Amino acid sequence: MEYRTEHDSMGEMQVPAWALWGAQTERSRRNFPIGVGLETMPVEIIRAFAQIKKAAALTNRALLPEKMTAEKCAAICEAADAILEGALAEHFPLVVWQTGSGTQSNMNVNEVIANRGNMQAGKALLHPNDDVNLSQSSNDTFPTALRVAAALSVEDRLLPAVEGLIDALRRLESENEDVLKIGRTHLQDATPLRFSQEISGWRGSLEQDRRMLLLSLPPLREIALGGTAVGTGLNAPKGFDLLAAEKLSELTGTAFVSAPNKFHALTSLDELVFAHGAIKALAADLMKLANDLRLLASGPRCGLGELTLPANEPGSSIMPGKVNPTQCEQLTMVAVQVLGNDAAIGVAASQGNLELNVFLPVCAYNFLQSSRLLAESVASFTERCVRGIRADRDRMARNVERSLMLATALSPHIGYEKAALAAQAAAQRGISLREACVELGFLSPEQFDEVVRPEQMV
């Protein structure tokens, strides 16, 4: 492999000749051979950095035109656009497991933009620190990139996936408004309800999760850019924070605002914890939904068997004809991963020592993994499971007729204790509740039929 010589404040480094990164990126690449190829900095963070660098260049052009010339600004913007188009993806090799402030990833972006700009200009036009990083510090750019990436991930990927699942459940609910089934509490038979009512519970949980996700977005949109090293804004011109937030909002299409307290924005990740808490709540509800579906579809002959789920692939290498609820299973595994990620984020966020939190990359990695995995998992679950659910109406009706909990409707007429005796006698003797009531002399067959009407118990 051919190399070229790059230098930084610590001296010279040999960098692969083809690479657009420079000395600081190369030092990090060599010093942190941890999770290489598997746990690189999330692409969402790199994209957010590109948008930040472009916004900063435009802001510096307006506030510091003697330093940020039109030529330099255009070169930075062109390189940032190339990153956003995915044209330079191979030039971001750094792993998550680096310095906790993310300094090397900030410099990776600075170096790639500078080298790209210099190649395009055919001269030494841009310096990674003096030009691309002008008015910035890793200490304010990485927290900003984290918040930008998190907010856009929730807005653009997770929320649309959740809304698609809500729509699918709403259609399923409409299709089953007239279907009666037995309810279950403690995994035991309970009183009847409409299948549409059961579905509405799933839908209502997801709608609540959506509301909580939306509530988490405004705090995420408060960015640290302009705080520089410790929150004072040293080396940034007056008004840089406000104008940079405006430029970033224009570039992303999302209304980011300058954090009113930069000291808080650099050292605290409470907004991220809050937002991931909403993601965790969604994961918990999805776990419940997936488990409900596979319980109701269990069997098909020796379980509850009240639902039929789509048969997507063979379920066994030894048992012919077996089909498993695989989409439910992938969703529950993703939910488990999200719950684990939440623990990591919570611990990391508690480590904001003095003027900076130095667990930023791991927070970025876990948050963005949760959002991405859930978005993809929910979309697959919606398309390959929920849209194909069919109710076994006959089986549901038979289960309602056989349920001993219809005795609940007897209580107002014969009293709780007699109703309990009838249910116990029916269970012990394997007869219907109707037959038990008649044999015990509590009601005539006609009286039972008039009192116990499942369709009026919902």
Q: What are phi and psi of 52, to 5 degrees?
A: -65, -45
Q: Which of 174, 316, 350, 411 is catalytic?
A: 316
Distances (CA, A) of 297 to 119, 149, 165, 379: 61, 38, 19, 20
Using a 10 angstrom Cβ sphere, with 0-12 exposed, 13-18 middle and 19 or more buried, the burial of residue 444 is: exposed
Q: Which of 53, 95, 141 is nearest to 365 (CA)?
A: 95
Long-range contacts (CB closer than 8 Å, 24 or more residues apart) made by 5-9? none
* DSSP letters spanning 199-231: HHHHHHHHHHHHHHHHHHHHHHTEE-TT-TTTS
- Rounded CA-CA distance 114/275 in Å is 34
* 403 has catalytic annotation: no
- Rounded CA-CA distance 145/84 in Å is 14
Q: What are phi and psi of 353, to 5 degrees?
A: -80, 130
Q: Which of 112, 144, 105, 114 is nearest to 132 (CA)?
A: 114
Distance, first Cα to last Cα, the chain: 74
* 216 has catalytic annotation: no
- Rounded CA-CA distance 416/435 in Å is 18
Q: Tally DSSP H helices, then E strands, for the chain.
A: 17, 10
Apex CA 23: angle with CA 47 and CA 48, to 5°?
10
> Are 203 and 244 a contacting pair, CB within 8 Å?
no
For residue 138, the cross-strand partners are none
Total residues belonging to the chain:
458
- Rounded CA-CA distance 72/377 in Å is 43
The DSSP bridge pattern shows strands 180-185 and 11-16 to be unpaired
Burial 357-383 (b: 16+ CB within 10 A, else e): bbbbbbbbbbbbbbbbbbbebbbbbbe
Instruction: Please count the other Cβ atoms lying within 10 Å of the Cβ belonging to residue 85.
Output: 10
Active site residues: 186, 316
